[in-house]
Amino acid sequence: MCSPIVAGFNGDTFLGPSSFRLKYLDPYADAARTWLHREAEVVDTTHLTPAQAALRIAEAVRSGRGR
């Protein structure tokens, strides 16, 4: 899970690399492994445009999967 996120943080051409974001990566990953995946519909947006991500989320909400 973390390597695409780390690559995104390090390759961020808008904000640049961020040690602040990397500092909180492990706590976020821990949360995701426990309550987040249990309580939420997780949408992998790794290879989606913002518009595609919005459509995927909207479909999850329409179908009742989104909470």
Q: What is the pTM of this model?
A: 0.50
CB 10 within 8 A of CB 17: yes
- Percentage of residues in the chain having pLDDT higher than 90: 15
Q: Does the structure show a pLDDT above 80 at 67?
A: no
> What per-residue confidence (pLDDT) applies to 5?
75
In this predicted model, which residue has the larger pLDDT, 49 or 35? 49
CB 9 within 8 A of CB 22: yes
> What per-residue confidence (pLDDT) applies to 51?
96
Please state, in angstroms and rounded to a whole number, the distance separating the CA atoms of residues 36 and 10.
Answer: 24
